[in-house]
Each structure stands twice: as structure tokens, then as C-alpha cells.
A and B are shown apart, each in its own frame.
Chain A
Amino acid sequence: MTSELDIFVGNTTLIDEDVYRLWLDGYSVNDAVALRVRSGILEQTGATAAVLQSDTMDHYRTFHMLERLLHAPPKLLHQLIFQIPPSRQALLIERYYAFDEAFVREVLGKKLSKGTKKDLDDISTKTGITLKSCRRQFDNFKRVFKVVEEMRGSLVDNIQQHFLLSDRLARDYAAIVFFANNRFETGKKKLQYLSFGDFAFCAELMIQNWTLGAVDSQVDDMDMDLDKEFLQDLKELKVLVADKDLLDLHKSLVCTALRGKLGVFSEMEANFKNLSRGLVNVAAKLTHNKDVRDLFVDLVEKFVEPCRSDHWPLKDVQLFLNQYSASVHSLDGFRHQALWDRYVGTLHGCLLRLYHD
């Protein structure tokens, strides 16, 4: 006796959250059944393995049918085939677009192309996330990217509108799209200590301050691309380190203000010029695409690592950066105050976030 056909269709579509998670995680039906058995569900409910198998198959089939709609979440809301309560719809979408930290760290900043997709095997082996799940997550990134790529308006809003994601998740996607578009390097060994959250935080600051949309909300592609003009202008900041007098004045202003307040004062004093040179040079280099990609590598190399090797506490880093950016306003010979603020304001936030072990 073999079961040829076995289905269950409810007027309200039944969604089992646990099975949904297993499906999203890319487990085959048999693996999912095994995992469910291990969860002790048989004992709880008195069901048999056959029942569990049939139930899992049913859910998988439903999810498979829903997947097409999940690719364009507004369709899920308007379709008539599956009657799903709104709260469940929200849950389905949110979970479908959720991603694994380990996975996103691997592809963050990479081009969302076929080439990267081919590497998913390796990522799967490396992270222990099933290939199926990797594919789903990658395709999600790519799909969101494709939809919002050419769109006007706020990146987060666009993502929310077209994918009906929660605010949190939409922000994460904005960061992923932003990183993919600008191809920031995040995979270097030096950057391994950074979490997705760190990058997402930086991305948000950069979107808010460094993109076209930050100054003019009527421009195309405003949130995806960095403001080219702004990057060009950043060259002007070079005077801060190139002009010796200006550099000395800046240093003395910072040192005066921080004397006695900093635990690592002497180290700071000794390193000031190096640090300042590092930060300003990063800005000056941003005209080249390749250097834009290396932004995070540079920030870590030029600032985070030197401070860390001198064991600066976070509090001191904060004090230093406050003073470092504020003192520029007192430099009479420096004319690019607004530019400086736009640059260093974001940098300030990013560096603090990046500064940890």
C-alpha cells in the first residue's frame, strides 16, 4: 500500500511556523521530518512518523506554491488563491526575506551577479548553511537590488513599498543594496571582526549624508550612489595635512583641549599626525572607485588598528574624535567647513562603530 496522492487544503491556508523555518533553511522533506521527530513533536501529539511525513510534505507544497508570490509580496496581499490572515502574510514575508548573518557577511559588497552565485557552493560549505537557503538569500538580495536600483526616492521606503518588509529588515536590505552597488570590500581578513550590523550602521550613515539624496531629494538613483561631486570636493580637505602650519595648529588645538582628559594622551599626541593624515587621505582618495571600495579597509588600517595597538579605550576614541572634528572649526585658514562636517560627521559615527575587538 503506497500513498499516491495525499493533500490537505484549508479554506484558510495553514502555516506551520516551525516547518516554514525548516523549509527556509533549505532542508529536504526527509531532513525536515527527521528534525521534527527530534524536536519531540511525536511524543507531544501522539502522532506517527507517517503523519509527520504527510504533514511536512503538505506544508512544503504550500510553501512551494507561495514562493512565486513571495517574490513580489504585494501580490501575496492581492492574490485570491490562498486565504491567509494579514498577520500571517506579514510573517511569511518577513521570514522569507530574513537572512543569516554568516551568509550576508560573505556576500556583502560583492557584485550580485551570476559569478557570485556560482561561489555559493563554497559559502554553503564554509558557513554550514544549506545551498538552497544560500540561493534563496542571494536571490532575495538580487531581487531587491533589481527592483529598487532604478528607483527615485528613499531607498528604505522603496524597499518597504515593494517588499512590505518591516522597518528593521528594510533598513538591512538598504545596507545590502548600498554595499552591493558600491562594492565595498568587506571580506578582507582585517575586516573579519566586523559584523553585518557594523556595516549596516555605516551604510545608513553614508546613505543619509554622502549620497545624492542627502542633498537633493529629486534626483534619480539618489540613495544608491555616492555623491560624485562631494567625493571630488573631498580633495580640498588635503590641505589639513599638507599645510604644515594648519596641521600643527590642529594638533595643538586638540591636545590643549584633551590634556588630562585622555588616558592615552601621550600616545595620542605622538600619533596625531599619522591619524589625521590617514583620515584625510582616505577622504582625498575617494575620487577613485577602487579606493571607494577599500574605504573600510583603509579606515581600519589607518585608524582602528593604530588606536587598538595603543589600547585606546572607546571613551578616549570618542573624546578624540569629538575634539578632532570640532577643532577644525577654529582653524581660520581652512575654508571648507561644511565639506568637512559632511565628511567627518559620518566618519565619526562609523569609526566609533568600527572600533571594537
Chain B
Amino acid sequence: MPGKLKVKIVAGRHLPVMDRASDLTDAFVEVKFGNTTFKTDVYLKSLNPQWNSEWFKFEVDDEDLQDEPLQITVLDHDTYSANDAIGKVYIDIDPLLYSEAATVISGWFPIYDTIHGIRGEINVVVKVDLFNDLNRFRQSSCGVKFFCTTSIPKCYRAVIIHGFVEELVVNEDPEYQWIDRIRTPRASNEARQRLISLMSGELQRKIGLKVLEMRGNAVVGYLQCFDLEGESGLVVRAIGTVCTLDKLSSPAAHLPACNSPSKEIKESPLVHPPSHGCRSTHNSPIHTATGSRLTQNFSVSVPTLIYTGMGSGSAGKEGGPFKALLRQQTQSALEQREFPFFTLTAFPPGFLVHVGGVVSARSVKLLDRIHNPAFVGIMGNTRSYKLLDWNSFNSDEPETRDAWWAEIRQEIKSHAKALGCHAVVGYSESTSICEEVCILSASGTAAVLNPRFLQDGTVEGCLEQRLEENLPAGCGFCHIPYDELNMPFPAHLTYCYNCRKQKVPDVLFTTIDLPVDAIVIGKGCLIQARLCRLKKKAQAEANATAISNLLPFMEYEVHTQLMNKLKLKGMNALFGLRIQITVGENMLMGLASATGVYLAALPTPGGIQIAGKTPNDGSYEQHISHMQKKINDTIAKNKELYEINPPEISEEIIGSPIPEPRQRSRLLRSQSESSDEVTELDLSHGKKDAFVLEIDDTDAMEDVHSLLTDVPPPSGFYSCNTEIMPGINNWTSEIQMFTSVRVIRLSSLNLTNQALNKNFNDLCENLLKSLYFKLRSMIPCCLCHVNFTVSLPEDELIQVTVTAVAITFDKNQALQTTKTHAEKSLQRASTDNEELLQFPLELCSDSLPSHPFPPSKEHLESASANSGIPAAQRDRCSSWIELIKLKAQTIRRGSIKTTVTVEKASPVGEGTFRNRSAPPCTNSTVGVVKMTPLSFIPGAKITKYLGIINMFFIRETTSLREEGGVSGFLHAFIAEVFAMVRAHVAALGGNAVVSYIMKQCVFMENPNKNQAQCLINVSGDAVIFVRESELEVVSTQQSAPSCQSSCTGGEVTT
């Protein structure tokens, strides 16, 4: 009995009117935890009740503490009829269970009703007294920290990174129970919310147990997802990376600590006790569940493409033996693990040695309730159901789903092996469900990891160190991990353009963030491949077969599109690649997003060639050459736009075998317009060569056109889907996180693949354009972590959800950095004049003259900008002056008097103002809570992680028109979700959510019935941050920390 939960209900405000006669409410509160319920007194006739209750005490197991949410229900007392529910608040008390996080939850929570939305707020204080538990056989895992952040959290250092952890829990979905036919929508929604809350609590506890078993103390990169399988149930699954984290005593010293973990640790992070390898519920990776039927065994594993570069080459001189050694080491460390996977996307320096490329696996499965025998009993005999609490069945037979995932993971592992890698980083899993078909997907980046965090003087260490000294940092991860002589696929290798010692592929695709030390030229940009494929409506196996037949083609086309777009941008690497395949009734959608960059270590990409299949047709030829010119122009423009001016390399410096003659010949050809030659080239390279686009039919024509229709963001805007934008490092503090949702209805007439593609493409492009327009006031800014999600809620509906954060940056400093860069290239240009001629041949001819000039222009610009007041700063100044003027206008006279009276006016939170010499505009009692999908807050330091936020909401309406239609309904709901997340963070004492993600946004409508329903699942890490400079605290109204403390203070006192 190791815990005491204490809850106090303080007050309510802004309650809805529940009694029409008096226009008031007689509110009271029920506080429920587990099976215990307490009630407050009824506070008569008030919309702002002051209950000031005693402390309600629950004495509970810590197992329950982890699983159960605290449930607070606000009701309106009614003497004659049943009490009416106003709404509920669910509070996850998990953050109170580990010592370093929050100690108290206290604040105003929105009272939420699944039918009416937010209806007022309630002030609650929650505390937990934990007793030390020495029970060895305990079922709880209190104290294990969870982080959504996919890198080592900022105020910790990783002592050991243990590895992969996964778990899943299955239950029946209350929405599909027989009882749902007779209960109210509200009751059904609440049952679902409560169940999911319970399940995720349980899941987290189980994961925690595994973590303890592995001797870790934290899960980083924790990703929990729901699969709403409909009739067949509800799956909650989670993956993460187990670590042993140490809190940094002084937050200032966090950077060096990453570099040199304490000396005592002799064991490398990866060679950590094999005896504690990841044990999971299934011991054999692949097994078939008992009671299987034909349908269950039906599973199609899709041949998976492995994305890397292409071409061929010979062995590196120095790297060979060392590489082998390294591989052996890592191998021994990693092979003891079932799955050497890491959900992290950013790593401590030196951790990542080589990157092989993206590995992914998909599998199409048929969902069938038969898999969960327990349910058969329930569903077969509805009468006996009443006697059974289906909660008691939880986690019954998760075997099937577990086996499915194990199978996929095994495949990923073997793919990684084929790439000469023993680990997979940036690993993630996802599903797409339509009716009874489910596509399971997993992807990651095959990598070779450094077996030791610490080089402690062993021979290998020396060798490695020497190697690292020799190699300029920042290109090592590009070097191929696989054996050049025995390559898993045709690849095109050259010597690294940075160090000249190791081989690199010509293109690199990864799912991770750009390593901090990577040398990048110019800026990056968001690259998307979009694809639709029609599919016949079919049932069961036929459907699954159709889908699995389509998948490889989609993967291939997505890959081709990505490759072409990357070339078009003049870049050579993709980071943060995420390919989402969505299945619908009659179509499949593929959406791949990634951030393209130019890695200095990789060769300059060649241009794109267009080849016609019907020569000797004059007009056709003309058309082709016209297209070719357009493409070349675009490439040149993009290079300028993204400031890609790679310093060209003199042949002497290379000093090693010159790139293969074949490449040379291609250079020549790239200038020739003759299609015959190109065709020849095409034959010699086979289908996989992305340099050549073959225009043999209208489809291909469409493809080329679609390539050219992607408009670059307006000037002042950049976008990427990684944490930070390569090439920008001078962020200012303004951030704006947003979610945008669009649904389009396709007219069923034009359902051809092309029309579909065009619709989908337009949808995404227009969405992006809208975002740029909406956020134009933040220019110069960058959209970071742009996360697109596609779903097909109905036959002819496509839904796209985007979450991202816009961050402003200082253009001036950006110019300065490019200036040094430009200077460099200028110098080179002047010294190596002759080389200049050779180099650009590889590029399109158009870019030749533009090369030497842009740098100098920039140079001039930056020089002029530096001479006086920096332009951007000037802008900022003037806008500030405007703002001040505006304030002055609105509050012209007696501003101080105004605010004083305002304070008196506010019925609540009077205490907030007491000690403040309030500037005219900061009289709100609500503290600002920032939200961001990134793991950091620009211009600020995260001082404390308060715990994970993981919330699930359902909203339903039966008066859709009255609520402003579907847009009004969803707009309000998302705003409410944000508000509830912010309120929870503020109650924990935090002022921001980092690594925020909206994992699910399932929207269903029935306009004929005037109904709609939406489910949203969000998560993130609640943190406290402190601004790095006091100056900024003054200048921004979001001076969160100071405001926060005073606000919470005020709230508690009221």
C-alpha cells in the first residue's frame, strides 16, 4: 500500500448556466480514483463556486497510481431529478511519481464535456505521498522517467543507452460493445476516454518494468500509439529507447557532459550487460498465434526497397581494416539484443559512426476478432457479458499483434544487416487501418554505432581516435558501412569530398535528424513526394492482396519522386524521411516528407535528363528540349535560393583515383541535347537511375510537370521536417506552433490516377501556401518539424493534418555566416580559376555564370547591412515602435489607473497583481504556455522536465450546423485540446511543452444527421524553461517564467 493520493477541490469559474430559471448553477464535484469516490458540498447558486474542500485522501497501490487517472466530475445538483453532469477533468498523476519531476499539480483545469466541449474551469490541487517500496516482485515501475523527446533530454546526460523497448495492450473498444446501442453518446465517449487513459497508464507501467529489468531509469523517444481497429478492438502500443540518464547538476555544463561521460563507466553504452537484453512478451520473434485460421495467417510482406546511393566503386585504403574491426565490436555488442533499434533521431556526439541508409518494412494484415479468443466468449453470449468487467480481460492475447510487429522488426533487422549495419536508429512504427485491412509499417536508418562512449586508451580506441583526428569531423557518418566489394545493391561510390579518404554514396537517405557536426552547404528545404493509386473495392483477402500488390509500386514511385525532387533542388541527402502509406476503401495514398540538404561530403548531384521515346519527331524534340531547359533553370534557381555554392575541388587535392570515367562521360552528355545519346545512357544504367527521366507516355509527362509545379516558399520562408533547419542557427525567441487540417471531397467522376495525384498534390501545395500566407508576419522565419498526416476517412474524402512550428530567426546573422562561406568560395574562385571551368560542367550549364557572382553580391549586401543599423534589426525596431504607439493609443490616458481598476474588476485571481508594477497590458491571469514539436525552445534553456503529457480526447456533436459546420466544430475542438494541454502543463508548474505531437486526429462526420465526431491524441514533455537573456524577458510579452510563478501563486491563493 505504498501511496497516498491527496486531492483538494478549491473553486470553479465560468461555469455554464444549468438552471434556466435562476440563470445560475448549484455545482458540486465528485472526485474518483479507482473505485473510491468523494464528493464536495453543493455550492448553491453560483457560476463561480468556492468549494474549498477538505483534502480527499486515497490510499492506493502504486500500480494503481500508474494505471488510473484521477477523475474529477463537476455536476449540477438537482433536488427532483438526476444531477446533470457539467463536465470532467482527467488528471494523469504519473508526473508526481518520480522525484525529479513535479511535486504538486495545482491550477485551473478546463472542465471538459465530450458533447459540449469546455464548460468553465476548476481549480484543483493534487499531491502524492509515496512510501518506499522494497518489494522485489512489484508490478509497478514508479520512478522510471518517460520522454517523448527523441534525443537525450537537455538537462540530462546519457550514461548508458540500453536499447529498444516495446509493449502493447489490447482491449475491446467500448464504442463497439452491444451496450453502446443503448447508452448515450456521452457515456460511450467517456467510457472510451477512460479506457484509453487506463490502457496507456498500464502500458507505461509495463514498459517501465522492462526498463527496470534492463537496469535503465528512463525511456527516451517514447512513442505511444492507438490503433482503433473497430470491431476487432483497440490496441495501444508503444516503443522507446531505454537509457540510464544522469541529471546534470549544473544545467550550464550540459554540453561538455555529453562529450565525456564520467570516467568510471568502463563499459561502453552498447556493450552493456547482455543478461539484461530486451526481453519482451514473445520469446520467439515469429510465431503464429494459436487458434489461427486462414485469415490470420494471411500476411503479405512487401519487398522493401533500400534507399541509398547507387553506382559502384573500389575499396577504401585505410578504412577497410578498421571498419571491419569496428564492425566486429559493435556486432558482438548488438547481436545479443533481439532488436538493436533506437527511437532516437539525434545522438550524443561520436555515437553515430556510419549511416547505411533507410530501411523499411511493411506488411498487410487482416484484422479479425477471432484473434482475441476472450472476446468471442463475450460477444457470443451477450447475456453473460453483464457479469464480466471487460477491464479484467485487458491485455488478453496481445500475442497476435505482438507477433505481427516482431515479424516486421525482424525484417528491418535483416535489411540493416544487408547494409552492413548492426543497428537501426531513428526507428518508428505506424499503422494504417481501413475496415478490416491493416498496413503495418516500420522504418528506420541502418547505422553503425560507436560501441563506446568513452575512449579509454584501448588499441581500438587509439586507432579510432587517430582516424577521427585524420578525418575532419562532420563527414564520418556519410562513409559507407558496407563492404565495397560486396555491396548489397548497385551503388555509386566516390571518395568523400570532405576527407578524401573514405568512400561515400552519391545520395544519402535517412530518418534521423541532421547530425550536429555535419558539414552542410547552404540551407535545407522540405521535400515531399505525393502519390495516389486507385484500388478496386474488395473484401478481405482479395483486398489485402490488391493492396500488397500495389505497395511495391508505390514505394518505388515515391522513391523516384523523392530522388527527382532532391536533384531538382541541387541537393544530395535527405534527413527525417518519413513515408506514410494510407489505405482507404478505393485508393492508397503515399506521402513522403523529408528535409533535403547538400552534404559537403557527398558528390555534387548531377542534373536531370529528359529522354523521349519517340525520336525523329521535330515538335516532340522541341518540346523535350524546352522541358529540359525548364528543369535546368529550376535547378539553377534552387541552388541560388538555398545558397548551395559548394566549393569546387581541385583535382590535385583529390590525389586519389578520379571519379570513374563513366561519370565523366555523363558530364559530357549532360550538356548535349541529343535524346539518342541519353537513351543509350538510360539503357546502360538500368531502371534505377534517377538522373534520367524517360518520357514515354502521358504518365511520365505528368510526373515531370508535377516536378515543376512545386513552388518554393516565398522569400523569407524556409521549411523542413527536421528539428532544426540546416544552415540557420540564429533563432530568435518567437515561436508559433500550429495545427492545420484540410479535408477535400473528390468528385467521383474524375477518379483516375492522374486526377487523384493532381488533387492530392494541389491539396498539399495549397495547404503549404496558406501556411506561408498566414505566418507572413513572422518573416524571416522557418517552419520546422513540418509533420503531414494523411487519412482517408471516407470513400471520396482526403484529410491532411499538418502540425509544425514557425520560428523566427535573425536574418542578419544568417547573412554573416553565409558571408564567411561566400568569402571562402570567393577566395577559391580567385585562386583556382582554372578549376572553375571544369567544375560546373557537372552541374547544368546554366548555373555556370551564376556561380562566382552570387557570393560577391551577398558579400556586398552583408557588408552594407553591417555598416549601419542592421536591416532586420531596424525592421524589428520600427515594428516595436509601432506596437508601442499602438498601445499608447489604445490606452491613452491614465494607463496606470486603468490597470488598477481592471484588477479590481476581475473576480478571480486578484492576488496575481498585488506585487506587480504592471505594464498596461500584462494583466492576464493566464500564464503563457509555449508548445513546440521540437525538443528545445529557441533562446531559452530547459531547466526541468516535469513529466510526459499524453492525452486523449473525444468530441462529438449532434448540432453540427449550429457549431459552424465541420470547420467550426474541429477548429473549436483543436483549440480546446491545446487549452487542456496548456492547463495541465501550467498545473505541473511548467511553461512549455516540447516534442509535442498530435499522433491522431480521427474525424468523422455525418452532415445529413447533423453529427460529427473527432478523436485526438496528443503527447509531449512538460518542461520549465528559462530565457537565456533577461533582455528578451522584457521585450516579449511571453515572459513566461516570471509571469508563471506569479500566476500560479495567484491562483493558489484565490
Residues on the A chain within 8 Å of B883, using CB: 87
Chain B neighbourhood of A4, CB < 8 A: 743-745, 797, 966
**Once the chains bind, are A3 and B742 in contact (CB under 8 Å)?**
yes
Give A207 Cβ to nearest chain B Cβ, in Å.
17
B919 closest partner in A (C-beta):
A86
Which of B714, B744, B759 is within 8 Å of A46, CB to CB? B714
Q: Which has the most chain A C-beta neighbours within 10 Å: B766, B891, B901, B906?
A: B901
B1009 within 8 A of A: no
Q: From the candidates B108, B746, B964, name the one contacting A1 in the complex (CB within 8 A).
A: B746
Q: Which of B108, B738, B747 lies at the interface centre, i.e. has the most chain A CB atoms within 10 A of its CB?
A: B738
| Residues of chain A contacted by B1038 (CB below 8 angstroms) | 85
Is residue A226 contacting chain B, with contact meaning CB distance below 8 A? no
Q: Is B282 an interface residue (CB 8 A)?
A: no
With both beta carbons as reference points, the residue of chain A lying nearest to B806 in the complex is identified as: A10
Q: Which of B108, B925, B979 has the most CB of A within 10 A?
A: B979
A261 within 8 Å of B (CB atoms):
no
Are the C-beta atoms of B890 and A9 separated by less than 8 Å? no
Given the complex of chains A and B, what is the CA–CA distance between A55 and B770 in angstroms?
A: 7
Question: Is there contact, CB below 8 Å, between A77 and B924?
Answer: yes
Chain A residues near B136 (CB, 8 Å)?
none
The CA-CA distance from A4 to B118 in the complex, in Å, is: 25
Query: In the complex the two chains form, is B762's CB within 8 Å of A5's CB?
Result: no
Q: Does B121 contact A (CB under 8 A)?
A: yes
Q: Which residue of A lies closest to B902 (CB)?
A: A164
**Number of chain B interface residues as a range:** 35 or more
Which residues in B have their C-beta under 8 angstroms from that of A80?
108, 110, 118, 121, 926, 979, 982-983
CB pair A5–B978 under 8 Å, yes or no, is no
Residues 739-777 of B, flagged 1 when their CB comes within 8 A of A and 0 if not, give: 111111111000000000001001100100111111010
Instruction: Across the interface, name the chain A residue whose C-beta is closest to B884.
Output: A87
Closest CB-CB distance, B464 to chain A, in whole Å? 44
A172 to chain B, nearest CB (A): 12
CB neighbours of B294 from chain A (8 A): none
Contact B1037 A5 (CB under 8 A): no
Residue among B737, B742, B964, B972 making CB contact with A11, cutoff 8 Å: B737
Asked if A82 CB lies within 8 Å of chain B CBs, one says: yes
Give Cα A55 to B767, complex, Å: 11
Instruction: State which of A112-120, A154-162, A237-245, A337-345 sits at the interface with chain B.
Output: A154-162
In the complex, whether A291 has a CB less than 8 A from a CB of chain B is no
Known: A51-B770, A87-B887, A90-B890. A77 touches B926 (CB 8 A): yes
Contact of A65 among B776, B893, B975, B1037 (CB under 8 A): B975
Closest CB-CB distance, B1020 to chain A, in whole Å? 11
Q: Mark B7-21, 1 if CB is under 8 A from A, else 0.
A: 000000110000000
A93 closest partner in B (C-beta): B890
Nearest B residue to A171, CB-CB: B893
B929 located at the interface, meaning its Cβ lies under 8 Å from any Cβ of chain A in the complex? yes
Nearest opposing residue in chain B for A10, CB measure:
B738
Q: Which residue of B lies closest to A4 (CB)?
A: B743
CB distance from A294 to the nearest CB of B (A): 32
Most chain B beta-carbon contacts within 10 A, residue among A10, A55, A90? A10
A residues near B970, Cβ cutoff 8 Å = 5, 7
Contacts A9-B975, A48-B769, A157-B901 given; does A1 touch B747 at CB 8 Å: yes
As a 0/1 sequence over residues 76 to 107 of chain A, the CB contacts with chain B under 8 angstroms (1 = contact) are 01111111011101110010000000000000
With contact pairs A7-B967, A51-B766, A61-B964 given, residues A86 and B1037 touching in the complex (Cβ less than 8 Å): yes
CB <8 Å contact, A166 and B928 = no
Q: Which of B743, B904, B924, B925 lies in contact with A161, CB distance below 8 A?
A: B904
At the interface, yes or no: B905 with Cβ under 8 Å from chain A?
yes
Contacts of A46 in B (CB 8 A): 714
Q: Is A150 an interface residue (CB 8 A)?
A: no
Task: For residue B1036, give the distance in angstroms from its CB to the closest CB of chain A.
Answer: 9
Q: Which residues of B contact A87 (CB under 8 A)?
A: 883, 886-887, 921, 1037
| B655 close to chain A: CB less than 8 A | no
Closest to A154 in B: B901
B928 to chain A, nearest CB (A): 7
Which of B737, B738, B905 contacts A74 (CB under 8 A)?
Answer: B905
- Whether A57 lies near B770 (C-beta < 8 A) is no
A90 contacts B967, CB within 8 Å? no
- The smallest C-beta distance from B1013 to any residue of chain A, in angstroms, reads 14
Residue numbers in A under 8 Å from B891 (CB-CB) = 90, 166-167
Question: Is the C-beta of B930 less than 8 angstroms from some C-beta in chain A?
Answer: yes
Flag if B968 contacts A61 (CB, 8 Å): yes
Q: Which residue of A lies closest to B986 (CB)?
A: A80
| Contact indicator B110/A5 (Cβ below 8 Å) | no
- Contact residues of B between 914 and 935, Cβ < 8 Å to A: 920-926, 928-931
A11 near B966 (CB under 8 angstroms)?
no
- Cα of A75 to Cα of B771 in the assembled complex, Å: 30
A2 in the interface (beta carbon within 8 A)? yes
CA distance A11 to B983 in the complex (A): 12
B618 contacts chain A at the CB level, 8 A cutoff: no
Instruction: Return the chain B residue nearest A50 by Cβ.
Output: B766
Q: How far is the CB of B111 from chain A (nearest CB, A)?
A: 10
CA distance A8 to B771 in the complex (A): 8
In the complex, are the beta carbons of A45 and B773 less than 8 A apart? yes
Docked Cα-Cα span, A4 to B901, in Å, equals: 46
- Judging by beta carbons under 8 Å apart, are B740 and A8 in contact? yes
A189 close to chain B: CB less than 8 A: no
User: What per-residue 1/0 map shows which CB atoms of A14-58 lie under 8 Å from chain B?
Assistant: 100000000000000000000000000000011110111011011
- Asked if A6 is an interface residue, CB under 8 A from chain B, the answer is yes
Q: Is residue A256 contacting chain B, with contact meaning CB distance below 8 A?
A: no
Give the complex CA separation of A14 and B975 in angstroms.
12
CA distance A264 to B769 in the complex (A): 71
User: Within A209-261, which residues are at the interface with B (CB < 8 Å)?
Assistant: none
Residues of chain B in range 871-924 having any CB-CB distance to chain A below 8 Å: 883, 886-887, 890-895, 897-898, 901-902, 904-909, 920-924
Chain B residue nearest to A168 (CB atoms) is B892
B974 interfacial contact with A, CB 8 Å = yes
Q: Is there an interface contact between A78 and B906, defined as CB atoms closer than 8 Å? A: yes
The reply to whether the CB of B976 lies closer than 8 angstroms to some CB of chain A is: yes
Chain B CB within 8 A of A12 CB: yes
Min CB distance A102 to B, Å, is: 21
Given A4-B743, A7-B740, A51-B769: A61 touches B931 (CB 8 Å cut-off): no
Chain A CB within 8 A of B971 CB? yes
Instruction: Please give, as numbers and ranges, the residues of chain A lying within 8 Å of B895 by CB-CB distance.
Output: 167
A336 at the interface (CB under 8 A from B): no
Say yes or no for A190: interface residue by CB 8 A criterion.
no
Q: Does A126 contact B (CB under 8 A)?
A: no
Q: With both chains docked as a complex, state the minimum distance between the C-beta of B875 and any C-beta of chain A, in angstroms.
A: 15
Contact present for A11 and B887 (CB under 8 Å): no
Chain B residues with Cβ under 8 A from A2's Cβ? 744-745, 747
A83 to B976, CA, bound (A): 11
Distance of B101 from chain A, by nearest CB (Å): 22
Q: Least Cβ distance of B717 to chain A in Å?
A: 11
Instruction: With A86-B1037, A167-B891 as known contacts, state yes or no: A61 contacts B906, CB within 8 Å.
Output: no
Is B736 positioned at the interface, with any CB of A under 8 Å from its CB? yes
User: Which of A58, A91, A166 counts the most chain B CB atoms within 10 A?
Assistant: A166
B774 touches A55 (CB 8 A): yes
- Does any Cβ of B come within 8 Å of A64's Cβ? yes
Which residues of A have CB within 8 Å of B979? 80-83
B738 touches A11 (CB 8 A): yes
Q: Is the CB of A83 within 8 A of B982?
A: yes
Given A9-B740, A164-B902: A75 and B14 interface contact (C-beta under 8 Å)? yes
Within 8 A of A (CB), among B322-358: none
For the complex, give the distance between the alpha carbons of A161 and B897 in Å.
Answer: 11
Having A14-B736, A46-B714, A83-B928, one finds 19 other A-B pairs with CB under 8 Å, namely: A7-B740, A7-B967, A7-B971, A9-B978, A11-B931, A51-B766, A54-B770, A57-B967, A74-B906, A80-B979, A85-B1037, A86-B922, A86-B1037, A87-B887, A87-B1037, A90-B921, A94-B890, A161-B902, A167-B891
Q: List 11 A-B contacts (CB under 8 A).
A: A1-B746, A4-B744, A5-B1003, A10-B738, A61-B968, A81-B976, A82-B979, A83-B929, A85-B1038, A87-B887, A157-B901
Task: Please list the 3 inter-chain residue pairs (A to B) with the smallest Cβ-Cβ separation, ordered nearest first.
Answer: A161-B905, A5-B743, A86-B921
